[in-house]
Amino acid sequence: MELFEFAVSGNCHKVRMLLSMLNLEYTSRPVNGAEREQKSETFLTLNPFGQVPVLKDKEVVIRDSQAILVYLAIEYGKGEWFPKSGIGSAKVIEWLSTSANEVTRGPAALRSHYKFGRPVNLEEATAVSDQLLHLLESHLEKNLWLADEKPTIADLAMYPYIALANEGKVDLRLYSQIRNWIARVERLPGYVSMPGIELQKV
C-alpha cells in the first residue's frame, strides 16, 4: 500500500493511525505541498481535487480520509472499527460527516490560520468550533467512545484536529470529557502521534 500525504496534515494522520493500529505495512509517499505537487498533472490523476490523503492499494485508488478509513476498516479491520448493522454504520458516519464538515470549518480552519497563515473568517470558525466542542463534551459525558461501546473509525476521524486544537489557539482546558477521550485514543494499541499533538496527561 502507498499513502500520499503531508506530514503536518490531520486528515493524513487519521489514516496513519488506522494503518498502524491494523498493523498494515505501507510506503509513505510525501507530497511536496510547498511546490504544490498535489496540483500536478500526475497527482491529479490520483485525486482530481488535488488534495491528500490518497491511498493506493494495488489497483485501488481512494481519495478522502473518511473514505480511506471506511475502506481499510472493511477490508482489513476483521469486523472491528466499523459496525455492519444499519444503525451501527449510521452512527459512525454521523461522526465521519462531522469530521468533514464542522471539524474542518471549526478547529481545523483555526489551525490553518494560526499555524499556516491561511485567510479564514475567524468569527465564523470560532463559532463553529465552540458549538462543536460543547456538543462533543456533552456527548462524551454519557459515552466513552463516539459511535459505539468500543473505538471505531469515528474516533480516529475526529481525533487529529481536536487533539491539534491548541495549534489553532483553542483551549481544551474547559473540556475535561474531551481531554479524557483524547487520552483514551492515545492509549489504543498501535497509536501513533504527529508533530503538534501534545499528549494528554489526564
Q: Does 50 bind ligand GSH (CB under 6 A)?
A: yes
Our finding on whether 98 is near ligand GSH (CB under 6 A) is: no
User: How many of the other CB atoms lie within 10 Å of CB of 190?
Assistant: 12
Question: Which grid coordinates belong to 115?
Answer: 499555524
DSSP E strand boundaries for 7-53: 27-30
Q: Which of 17, 46, 52, 70 binds ligand GSH (CB under 6 A)?
A: 52
Per CB under 6 A, 9 contacts ligand GSH: yes
* 171/134 Cα distance (integer angstroms): 12
Instruction: Provide the minimum distance between the beta carbon of 173 and ligand GSH in the complex, in angstroms, as a whole number.
Output: 26
The residues in 120-179 that bind ligand GSH, with binding defined as CB under 6 A, are none
d(CA 163, CA 28): 22
Q: Which of 22, 100, 144, 194 binds ligand GSH (CB under 6 A)?
A: 100
- For position 188 contacting ligand GSH by CB under 6 A, the verdict is no
One of 16, 19, 55, 66 touching ligand GSH (CB under 6 A)? 66
Q: Which residues, other chains included, contact 178 with Cβ-Cβ below 8 Å and sequence gap of 6+?
A: 133, 136, 137, 140, 162, 172
Q: Rule CB under 6 A: choose which of 19, 51, 136, 156 binds ligand GSH.
A: 51
Of 166, 177, 22, 10, the closest CA to residue 100 belongs to 10
**Site for ligand GSH (CB under 6 A): which residue of 19, 21, 65, 178?**
65
d(CA 38, CA 47): 8
Contact call for residue 53 and ligand GSH (CB under 6 A): yes
Residues near ligand GSH, by CB under 6 A: 6, 9, 11, 38, 50-53, 64-66, 100
